[in-house]
Structure 1
């Protein structure tokens, strides 16, 4: 029997695996910005209501969010590369169908009868968003416990800047290549990104060793000697069931629904908010939303390291207070500079909290990291689909002022999030106190 890692054909390193996952997530997450910069064009071409438009622009978040649950858990069986590629493949199918519809029907032949087809292909194109929970597990398996915040901060932060970059670029592409040509160009970029992930990615050592015939226990021992600290426990279904029975999973789901789902919702909704409420041009709105998205994403990188140092609960509590302050400002102003500042405040708070929450997953639920990541990433991101139609309904009920008052919903969710963070903190403090007491006391 081989005695060391040198006796096996092992591929990959933690840095390379992190690079691959980040590239894959970057191109998968870009689908969030697929429709939002062009929302008014689709609304006009198909004669849609504000609520229907809200559903359409958030469609890419729908399927990709829900698929995070089973695909994230599936990582416990194979390490992540296979589910990652399947999700990106589904995104390619969706983007191909969406682009074909535009080529065939836009603008003169588009009407409301095409709405279901556009919705379905837009939803499929968003399957790439589902790679997030897969990449969280894949990255967690590669990195030691004391570097989880950093690694996941880089992965989530850099990957999440894609919607911001494309929100900014798409209006420019519209002017350069035309409306349909811009989506053809994006389809080509998606193919390039998927190819890059395919070439660079590799599953963690434990999974590679198992595929080369090692017994589970031996593979675990060899991988641990090489530096791997986090391993799957049981089957994917067992991981989902086990994590679902742990109340902390649902506390983290709630927080992520608000901050990451809410973040995705703003990426899709803010272009409409700027154009319809504040009278900003499409290209300027794209730039403002792009800065918001990039800033809110990149702040996850230092936030992950901060969470490693001061604790996830403390970091999350600070972030919720920041979101609450920004939401209250946005709810009562009608000024482009102040609105831009307010969105940056909200984006900062959301980005910090996103990093803090996933820093807590391996710590709070080490026995079912993949299953918990699936629930948190999937149901959390689902907020990106749920919230834009609610904003649209608020506008229909209240008129233009509803664009601003809708941000009170974020203030309410931030307050609820503070309660969840406090509950987690109290629970951990109680456990530490009990463990520190002498036996028999």
Structure 2
């Protein structure tokens, strides 16, 4: 029976290309929540009068759920396919955005005070669920493509989806200037709702999962799917993979490295707009542009080069170089309040983080060959947790030193970079025994 006949017989939908497009689309729609509060934090702070720590917690709120939910939702894909987990995360994000929009509509600006901080924080947590779509889209995409096309498919997925925070960092302040804070979030809510509906109607799981949902046995579903070109299938050993990888000490070293690079990336995507506004007195729109082009988009795109460099000279050497670049960028930012020099520091730290993000995942299968999937879950989920932990630490320096604390806070990144260099050197020394 031909492929076309099999598809018609079983009523299967979608193609690998459409699967990639919709997975990337769903990730893009949800991942934008990284920029939920960062570009407009000043607007909230003007009416809520938050301390530096509370401000840091608020801009980081979406990253808490966006990181910790990656592990269970990524594992869920192996059982039911990607569509249901992706829709669940997007739906939770829609609830968060709806709640935030309603709070702003009824209370902003006159009736909002620090007393409303908990509810705004909670809606930030819900909105941040969309950030966790990353771990859903990776296996969702992988199941659609044969091994020889995995690099292209996953590179396209991660590269394009990762641009969402940068793009929204540009768009949100523009909309803010045109229709105000409430209108800006109402527009975001409509975008998120529309995107979720589009995903609902046009996304499809890989053929294996569609067949399972139609009642076909696992063995038969695998047989039919192989005839249609699918090569990867769930092993049903996700929990076991997590357990095995958790017992490997180097897994936790990689978690720390990704906590610094990707967690640090998420943290600064949310924090940089506030940094530019408060320390350098630029407008909200200009701060969004500086964050997007000087940091977020640059780090996303240079991650591709980081993968190439890791293949060429090894992940350990690449990591040592990249964390050294992060240290240099942070050093520059600590000791300057001059705009041009600070911009050079931002670009430098962006390059280091982008390259490091690729280097870490180059090392995962090398050091945890028996359970790379489980290790990726720990590294991706707990590593992204840095996006929640770091901004409040930066806020402490603001509370201690006032305005100049926005610069001094990058001491945190200097220390993190040193930790990253030390771990990378230790991994390199041990690599001959791997």
Answer yes or no: same fold by TM over 0.5: yes
Give the CA deviation at 1:212: 4.3
Contact 1:81–1:201 (CA under 8 A) maintained in structure 2 = yes
Q: Mapping of 1:64-83 within 5 angstroms?
A: 64-83=66-85
Contact 1:87–1:127 (CA under 8 A) maintained in structure 2 = yes
Q: 1:152/1:326 Cα in 2 relative to 1: closer, same or farther (>3 Å)?
A: farther
Instruction: Summarize deviations over 1:77-125 as a string: whole Å, max 9, x none.
Output: 1232211110011000000000000000001111122111111111101
Contact 1:322–1:348 (CA under 8 A) maintained in structure 2 = yes
Instruction: Summarize deviations over 1:370-410 as a string: whole Å, max 9, x none.
Output: 53333222211111111111001022123333222221221
SS of 1:232's equivalent?
coil
Contact 2:68–2:382 (CA under 8 A) maintained in structure 1 = yes
Give the CA deviation at 1:412: 2.1
Whole-Å separation in 2 of the counterparts to 1:366 and 1:25:
27
Q: Which residue of 2 aligns with 1:17?
A: 19
1:378 aligns with 2:381: yes
Contact 2:394–2:412 (CA under 8 A) maintained in structure 1 = no
Contact 1:96–1:187 (CA under 8 A) maintained in structure 2 = yes
Contact 1:277–1:400 (CA under 8 A) maintained in structure 2 = yes
Instruction: Summarize deviations over 1:256-296 as a string: whole Å, max 9, x none.
Output: 11111111111111112112112222221111012121111
> In terms of mean alpha carbon deviation, does 26-35 or 410-419 score higher?
410-419
Q: Mapping of 1:373-412 within 5 angstroms?
A: 373-412=376-415
Q: Mapping of 1:109-128 within 5 angstroms?
A: 109-128=111-130
Q: 1:282/1:4 Cα in 2 relative to 1: closer, same or farther (>3 Å)?
A: closer
Q: 1:15/1:349 Cα in 2 relative to 1: closer, same or farther (>3 Å)?
A: farther
Whole-Å separation in 2 of the counterparts to 1:143 and 1:57:
36
Whole-Å separation in 1 of the counterparts to 2:227 and 2:317:
33
SS of 1:48's equivalent?
coil
Root-mean-square deviation (CA), in Å?
Answer: 2.6
Give the CA deviation at 1:150: 4.0
1:332 aligns with 2:338: no
Unaligned 5+ segments in structure 1 are 432-441
Q: 1:420/1:143 Cα in 2 relative to 1: closer, same or farther (>3 Å)?
A: farther
Contact 1:60–1:125 (CA under 8 A) maintained in structure 2 = yes
Instruction: Summarize deviations over 1:286-332 as a string: whole Å, max 9, x none.
Output: 11012121111122234345545554444433322322221222121
Q: 1:192/1:23 Cα in 2 relative to 1: closer, same or farther (>3 Å)?
A: same
SS of 1:203's equivalent?
coil
Q: Which residue of 2 aligns with 1:434?
A: none
Unaligned 5+ segments in structure 2 are none
Whole-Å separation in 2 of the counterparts to 1:37 and 1:384:
15
TM-score of the pair, normalised by structure 2: 0.90
Q: Which residue of 1 aligns with 2:196?
A: 194
Instruction: Summarize deviations over 1:107-165 as a string: whole Å, max 9, x none.
Output: 11111221111111111011000111112222333345555444333222221211111
1:37 aligns with 2:35: no
Whole-Å separation in 2 of the counterparts to 1:5 and 1:430:
50
1:180 aligns with 2:182: yes
1:282 aligns with 2:284: yes
Q: Which residue of 2 aligns with 1:421?
A: 424
Whole-Å separation in 2 of the counterparts to 1:5 and 1:242:
41
SS of 2:403's equivalent?
coil
Q: Mapping of 1:88-167 within 5 angstroms?
A: 88-145=90-147, 147-167=149-169
Contact 2:393–2:412 (CA under 8 A) maintained in structure 1 = no
Whole-Å separation in 2 of the counterparts to 1:293 and 1:359:
21
Contact 1:149–1:355 (CA under 8 A) maintained in structure 2 = no
Instruction: Summarize deviations over 1:62-83 as a string: whole Å, max 9, x none.
Output: 1121111211111221232211
Aligned length: 430
Q: Which residue of 266, 272, 275 corresponds with 2:274?
A: 272
Q: 1:135/1:243 Cα in 2 relative to 1: closer, same or farther (>3 Å)?
A: farther
Q: 1:422/1:223 Cα in 2 relative to 1: closer, same or farther (>3 Å)?
A: farther
Q: 1:57/1:95 Cα in 2 relative to 1: closer, same or farther (>3 Å)?
A: same
Whole-Å separation in 2 of the counterparts to 1:399 and 1:422:
36
> In terms of mean alpha carbon deviation, does 301-310 or 352-361 score higher?
301-310
Q: Mapping of 1:256-267 within 5 angstroms?
A: 256-267=258-269
Q: 1:3/1:149 Cα in 2 relative to 1: closer, same or farther (>3 Å)?
A: closer
SS of 1:31's equivalent?
helix
Give the CA deviation at 1:229: 4.6
Q: Which residue of 1 aligns with 2:170?
A: 168
